[in-house]
Amino acid sequence: MAKTTYYVPIGPIHPALKEPIRVEAEVEGEKIVKVDVKRGFAHRGIEYMGMKRNAIQTLYLSERICGICSISHPYAFVIGSEKALGIEAPPRAQYIRPIIAELERIHSHILWIGVIAHEIGFDSLLFWTWKGREKVLDVLELITGNRINYAMYMIGGVRRDLKESHIKALRDMITYYWEFTEHMKEVFLSDPVYKARTRGVAQVPKDMALKLNLVGPTARAAGLRMDIRQDIPFDAYADMDVKAVVPQDIVGEVRGDAYDATMVRIYEIEQSLDIIEYCIDNLPEGRILAIPNYIALLNKIKKTAGEAIGAHEAPRGEVVHYLKYDGTRDGPSVWKVVAPSYNNINSWGYCLLGAEVADIPVVVAYIDPCLCCNDRVAVVRDSTGKMLDYSFIHKKAVEKTRALEKELGVRK
Amino acid sequence: MTPETIFYAVGMPIIGVFLGLVYKGIDRRVSARMTSRIGPPIRQPFWDVGKLLLKETIVPANAVKWIFNAMPILALASSMTLLLYIPFGIIKAPLEGYGDLVVILYLLTLQALAMAIGGFASGSPFSSVGAQREMVLMMSYEMPFAIVITGFALIYKSFSLSTIASTPVWTIVGPLGGIGVFLLLIAFLLVTPAELAKLPFDIAEAETEIAEGMLAEYSGRNLALFYLSDAVRGFAMMAIEVVLFIPFTLSYLFGLNLSGATLYIVEGLWFLFKVLLFYVSAVTLVRTSFARFRIEQASRLFWVYVNIIGLLGLLLIWLEVM
């Protein structure tokens, strides 16, 4: 009998993927009949590095976990650290932090919208949305000095204050984006081709979304009212009434597909604009750091023991940091990061089964995967599939170094 | 063998390749400007081809080697031959009398077929999926294309392009037939991006889905040949559209009395301008303002809607001719 199915490997390197992951699909014609998702190509041992450094260094290391969420990880880190160490940020800092976090959400969501347009072959929209995204990056650069990796947060406050000129720029930006989101709604939500490519694609019903542990806009698109800013409010979010953006509130029905995910994200940009406006309108006066002296801060950390969980709603979903300070060193003795894509990738297998090859890029992109956040562990197996333990790998590495030294004649 | 034959055999392919690449460059530039980018210089496609020619040609281990290497040549040869059947403005088609619109239809199909066979021969799953898609797409858009050609044959009682080029179609049809020809024009414009594998119908070469599909395994000289054949085909396709739908010459429009070299230069530039108009409106504008369709969506579009438009046009023409 002739072979009717093809084996199509997507990744680790593939144009639809911006970062390494592997999707192995068995394809019959255009239909996917079997699918397997394999992760674990981007383990960097960043938690281990963090546990060897002091808390301030680790805070800025946490910015480097993800290229786009360079505020979300530090935010969860400072929330967790402040809880564990019993430090409270001054009110002004508590209002500045959400501003930066929401600016990041705006730029991340616009970036995603451009990416999904590119994935369905609509490159003109990619250029257009990314041109619109420049404005928020300019504002971020004005406030923090960087377009990305802002180095803005500090345990117990923020490092830079908001000036009058910054507030003026923020207000300009808010007017600009109210217009821009209106355009985006027109261009994306009422475009027939966009609708044809995303309606019914990557559809996750509500119960399935719960079963797959989806988080963030992906879960909200499926109709789940979950948002860390609403459920476990912190900083200025507690003062305002943040409500999870769900499709049933916008159009009255939920389908949980890529089209709904687009809708949720566009409306979340508007929500972010509201939050920023609230924060700059009600910005309290005062200090921006609880302990301005970093040496004093590190000394306090060295003397304090405690553990806590810090959570923040990143643009992609909830990011959770677990921190434990044991009171003997000036950094966390345990640091554990859970990134939102780790949960959201669960949906790929479900969505891809029975989908078409043409839907792969949409399914892959609709959760806005951030794969470098994900991998927390690397597993090495031998040829028989047995997992090799750490001490064995270490022993082998030392043996190889000795052998190389001998071969090259290195003198000690 | 006359000097004329040698000129056509050597000159036409060179001119065709040159113009094809120039139009490709203009297309990229205009598209970039439309999306607020600066865009590459017009000569960029020439550099691309030059660079591809310098690169190593890799044949995959599990490819059928001779088919894999032969298909780019076949594709380029078929598009080159295509040029010889098209009357460019007032210049007569070199192979006039040896073939007609039906041959052109076959030559256009042959080029796409060569790419599909090349894709199957490369033995990669991405290429196979791409080639399958190309076959499905070909089955969808060939029918409306054939309808358009039949419509013209009904009007002129001939399949010959030179006959069609000599008298503009709009002057010999009545109001009913005029609407019919207009519908055929719409159908033809819709077929064009699919025929040239451009967005929104570049389904067989979808970059983000199947990593360039049929061309995934091609590299170096082979890829350069496909690139050239694509450029030539783009130019030839637009030239056919100009000949079919707006063959008006400047002398005809304004009653100019030109002769000798001036006539050829003016009419030549006018023809190239008309080709540019079609290129920008049927390829550049469309590919900049649409997303890629899924294969079954594209198929439905051609089988149902474009066919209805085409058949309606054909019906109107038939009613008038009868």
Cβ burial of A7 (10 Å; 0-12, 13-18, 19+) is exposed
Quick one: tokens of B157?
């009682």
Interface test with B, best of A115, A122, A201 (most B CBs within 10 A): A122
DSSP string, B179-197: HHHHHHHHHHHHHHHHHTT
State residue A326 phi and psi, 5-degree precision: -100, 0
Give the orientation angle of helix A72-85 with respect to helix A91-119, to 10 degrees.
150
Interface test with B, best of A6, A26, A119, A124 (most B CBs within 10 A): A124
Are A315 and A105 within 8 A, CB to CB?
A: yes
Chain B residue numbers with beta carbons less than 8 Å from the beta carbon of A190 are none
Q: Would you give the end-to-end CA distance of chain B in angstroms?
A: 45
| Confidence tier at A3 by pLDDT (50, 70, 90) | low
CB hemisphere CA count around B218 (13 angstroms): 31
> How many other CB atoms sit within 10 Å of the CB of residue B7?
11
C-alpha distance from A7 to closest chain B C-alpha (Å): 7
Nearest one of B282, B235, B283, B249 to B14, comparing CA atoms: B235
Give the total residue count for chain B.
322
Indicate if the pLDDT at residue A69 is higher than 90: no
In chain B, how many domains are there? Answer: 1
State residue B199 phi and psi, 5-degree precision: -55, 145
B contact set with A (CB within 8 A): 31, 34-37, 125-126, 128-129, 132-133, 199-200, 202-203, 206-212, 288-297
| Range A270-283 average pLDDT | 89
pLDDT of residue A400: 93
Residues of chain B with pLDDT under 50: none
C-alpha distance from B286 to closest chain A C-alpha (Å): 11
Query: What pTM was estimated for this model as a whole?
Result: 0.80
Query: Helix H segments across A53-205?
Result: 55-63, 72-85, 91-119, 123-144, 164-184, 192-198
Please tell me if residue A196 touches chain B, with a CB cutoff of 8 Å: yes
Indicate if the pLDDT at residue A378 is higher than 80: no
Domain that holds residue B68: 13-321
pLDDT of residue A341: 85
B75 within domain boundaries? yes
Give the helix/strand (H/E) hosting B311.
helix B307-321
**A7: three-class secondary structure by DSSP:** strand
**Interface touch A27/B129, C-beta < 8 Å:** yes
**Interface touch B292/A122, C-beta < 8 Å:** yes
- The domain locations on chain A are 57-324, 382-412
pLDDT digits (tens, 9 = 90+) for B44-89: 899 989 998 888 888 888 888 888 888 888 888 888 888 887 777 6
B3 within domain boundaries? no
Quick one: tokens of B189?
């414009």
Indicate if the pLDDT at residue A245 is higher than 70: yes
Q: Give every CB contact of residue A186 below 8 A, 6+ residues apart in sequence.
A: none
pLDDT digits (tens, 9 = 90+) for A86-103: 888 898 898 988 899 899
| Range A401-411 average pLDDT | 87
Classify A57-324 by CATH class: mainly alpha
Nearest one of A309, A310, A316, A312 to A214, comparing CA atoms: A316
| Range A355-382 average pLDDT | 79
Nearest one of A122, A150, A124, A123 to A136, comparing CA atoms: A150
pLDDT digits (tens, 9 = 90+) for B12-33: 778 888 888 998 898 888 888 8
pLDDT of residue B1: 58
A379/A40 Cα distance (integer angstroms): 8
pLDDT of residue A1: 44
A376/A104 Cα distance (integer angstroms): 24
pLDDT digits (tens, 9 = 90+) for A228-243: 888 888 888 888 888 8
pLDDT of residue B97: 66
Strands (E), chain B: none
Share of chain A above pLDDT 90, in %: 5
B6 within domain boundaries? no
DSSP state at residue A381: B
B7 within domain boundaries? no
Chain B residue numbers with beta carbons less than 8 Å from the beta carbon of A125 are 291
| Confidence tier at A209 by pLDDT (50, 70, 90) | confident
pLDDT digits (tens, 9 = 90+) for A116-172: 888 887 878 888 888 888 889 999 899 888 888 888 888 888 888 888 888 899 999
> What is the rounded average pLDDT for all residues in chain A?
86
